[in-house]
Amino acid sequence: MPFLALIRKYSQLLVYRFSWGSLLLGVIIHCAVGYEGLVFFDEKALLAPMTYLYFYLTTTLTVGYGDLLPVTEGGRLFTALWLMLGGITLLTVVIGKLTNLFVALWRKGMKGKHSYAHREAHTVLIGWDPATSERIIDLLLKDDTSSDEAIVLCDNTLDENPLPGKAGFVHGEQLTSRALLERAGVSTAERILIHTGNDDVTLAVVLSVHALEPQGHVVAHFNDPETARLARLYAPALECTSSMSVEMLVRASQDPGSSSVITELLAVDQGATQYRTHLPTTMTGRLGDLYQRMKEEHNAILIGYMPEDGTTLLLNPHGDTHVEGGEIFYIANERITF
C-alpha cells in the first residue's frame, strides 16, 4: 500500500477518536512547531505571520504553488517530514469529521429528527396519505400564501422524508404526542393541515393540537361529516372539511356542469379561483359598492362576507349590507390586497 494511502487509512481511524477540541489543539500545535522549525533553520522569507500562514495552508493542503519554498537543506527536510506528512494526517481527519458531520445532519433531517420548534409563520401538514399528501404539498407550494421553504410534514408511519427539497420532516411514535407536535412547531405555525386518512386518528390529533393553543389557522379533513361536527364541538375555531363526493354527485345530476365549476373554484394552479381576504377595520361602507369596485378594478366577483365578529358567513349578501372590516370571499384570477 502506498505510504500516503496508508497515512490516510489510519488518519480515518482518528476521525472517531478525537473530539473537535482535541483536533483543533493538534492543528495549533502542529502549526506552531512548524513555525519554530522554520525559525530554527533560518527560513527568513517564510517567517512573516501572514506569509507563514499562506505557506502552511498551501503546503499542508498539498496545493504547492511553488511561489514560497524553503531554501536550506534542513528547512526542506523539515517541511517534507513535519509540515507535509503531519498536515496531510491532520487535515484528512478534519475533512473526515466534517464529512461525517454533514452526513449525520442530512440523515437526521431525512429521519425526521430535526426540530422546527423555533420556526414561525410556516405550514404544518400532519399525517401522510400516499394518495393525497404529495398533491397537498404541491398545491401549497403553488399557492403564494404559503412559504415555499417552510412546509413541515409531521408523521409517524414514514421512516424517511418522502419529499426532500419540498418539505421538512419530523417523525414520532404517535401523532398525538405533544413532543412531536412541538418539534413540528405547531404552536407558532401560520396554518396547520390535518389529513391522516383515518377519522379517529384525525379527531385525536385535533384535540392534541387544540391543547397547544396554536396561533395559526387549523384545518382538518374528515371522511365522516358527523365526526367533523364532533371535532368542531371540542375545537370551535377549527375548520373542518369532509368528503363532498355524494353531494357533488347529486348536484351535478340536478345542475349539469356543477362539478366542473366546483373543481375549478378549488384549483390553485390555473384559472380563476376562490380566495379569502381580511379587510382592514378602517374599511367601512356598503357591500354593493365594494362589489362594484372589485369587479371594475380587479375583475373579481364577491360571493361572501363574514363580519369582524366571525359569527355568520353571508353568502351572496345583499348590496345594502354594512361593511366594517371582516372577511370577504371572492372569485378572481389572483389574490387581492387592500
Q: Is the pLDDT of residue 303 over 70?
A: yes
Cα separation, 81 vs 44, whole angstroms = 19
Cell digits for 224? Answer: 365522516
Same domain, 85 and 131: no
What secondary structure, in 3-state letters, does 85-108 show? HHHHHHHHHHHHHHHHHHHHHHHH
Same domain, 226 and 143: yes
Q: Is the pLDDT of residue 158 over 70?
A: yes
Average pLDDT value for residue range 170-186 = 93
Amino acid 248: pLDDT: 67
Whether 251 maps to a domain, the answer reads: no
Whether 24 maps to a domain, the answer reads: yes
Q: Domain count for the chain, please give it.
A: 3
Amino acid 28: pLDDT: 86
Kindly indicate the confidence band of residue 299, based on its pLDDT and cuts at 50, 70 and 90: very high
Same domain, 17 and 58: yes
pLDDT, tens digit, for every residue of 22-73? 778 888 888 898 899 989 988 888 889 899 999 888 888 777 787 888 888 8
Same domain, 225 and 314: no
Cα separation, 271 vs 255, whole angstroms = 22
Cα separation, 137 vs 167, whole angstroms = 8
Whether 134 maps to a domain, the answer reads: yes
Same domain, 31 and 95: yes
Q: Is the distance from CB of 107 to CB of 159 less than 8 angstroms?
A: no
Location of C-alpha cell 494511502: 5
Same domain, 44 and 94: yes
Cα separation, 217 vs 193, whole angstroms = 9
Whether 168 maps to a domain, the answer reads: yes
Whether 249 maps to a domain, the answer reads: no
Last residue of a domain, one of 48, 82, 110: 110
Domain containing residue 324: CATH number: 3.30.70.1450
Q: Which helix (H) or strand (E) holds 219?
A: strand 217-222
Amino acid 12: pLDDT: 53
| Residue at 18: amino acid letter | F
pLDDT, tens digit, for every residue of 78-110? 888 888 888 887 877 777 778 777 777 777 778
Same domain, 129 and 239: yes
Same domain, 184 and 99: no
Cα separation, 171 vs 257, whole angstroms = 42
Same domain, 132 and 218: yes
Cell digits for 158? Answer: 414514514
Cα separation, 64 vs 133, whole angstroms = 54
Same domain, 152 and 204: yes
Cα separation, 240 vs 199, whole angstroms = 12
Whether 148 maps to a domain, the answer reads: yes
Domain containing residue 228: CATH number: 3.40.50.720
Q: Can you give the residue range of the structural domain that contains 278?
A: 270-332
254 Cβ neighbours under 8 A, 6+ residues apart: none
Whether 294 maps to a domain, the answer reads: yes
Whether 260 maps to a domain, the answer reads: no
Last residue of a domain, one of 82, 110, 138: 110
Cell digits for 253? Answer: 345530476
CA-wise closest residue to 127 among 150, 158, 148: 158
Which of the residue ranges 7-21, 108-122, 189-203 would you say has the lowest mean pLDDT?
Answer: 7-21
191 Cβ neighbours under 8 A, 6+ residues apart: 123, 124, 146, 216, 217, 218, 219
Amino acid 204: pLDDT: 94
Judge if pTM exceeds 0.75. Answer: no
Same domain, 136 and 233: yes
Same domain, 297 and 325: yes
Domain containing residue 52: CATH number: 1.10.287.70
Which of the residue ranges 120-124, 183-187, 255-259 would you say has the lowest mean pLDDT?
Answer: 255-259
